[in-house]
Amino acid sequence: MIGTGEAWATIVLTGIGTFTIRASFLLVAHRLTTIPPLVRRSLRMIPAAALSGLVLPALIRPDGVLDIWQPRALVGALAAYLGWRTGNVILTLVAGMGALIGLEQLTG
């Protein structure tokens, strides 16, 4: 169980930090001239790197142990293929959830 003090400290600090990140460039937008190429290049890498670090462990390490031969890894590959081919987020989500529920029924 999480202590209330710990929970609120996390909430407030994450809130302040997240707002600062979101406001960063927007706040100086009126006097923003050019962003140096190296900074632009690194900024562009953030979504791919961070989202992948979030997604991959959930697919191939669902129970805290590396395991590629289980439903979630298979469903992840299927969903990635669907998302890539169709670009349809809703379809990717619904098909992915459906496939996982189906596979878990089959494998018990």
Partner 1 sequence: MVESVGFSVLVFAGASQLAAIEILDNGGVVAVAVLSALMINLRFLMYSASLAPHMAEARVGSRLLVAYLLTDQAYALSLGRFTGREPIAEPSIRLRYYLGVALTFWLTWQTATVVGAIGGGSIPDSIPLEFAIPLAFLALLVPAVTDRPTVAAALVGGIGTVVALELGAGDLSLVLGASAGIIAGTVVGSRYGSSTLDELGPPGDGGR
- Least Å distance, CB 106 to partner 1, is 13
Which tokens belong to 85?
A: 């081919």
Position 102 contacts partner 1 (CB under 8 A): no
Q: What is the largest CA-CA distance in the chain?
A: 59
Residue with smaller CB distance to partner 1, 24 or 69: 24
Taking the C-alpha atoms of residue 103 and residue 76, their distance in angstroms, rounded to an integer, is 12
* Residue 49, φ and ψ in degrees, nearest 5: -70, -45
**Cβ atoms within 10 Å, residue 55:** 13
Q: How far is the CB of 14 from partner 1 (least distance, A)?
A: 4
| Structure tokens given for 101 | 């529920």
Nearer to partner 1, 21 or 106 (CB): 21
Q: Which amino acid is at 105?
A: Q
Nearer to partner 1, 87 or 106 (CB): 87
For the segment 25-84, give every residue that binds partner 1 (CB under 8 A): 25-30, 32-35, 37-38, 40-61, 64, 66, 72, 75-76, 79-80, 83-84
> Applying CB under 8 A, what is the total number of residues that bind partner 1?
71
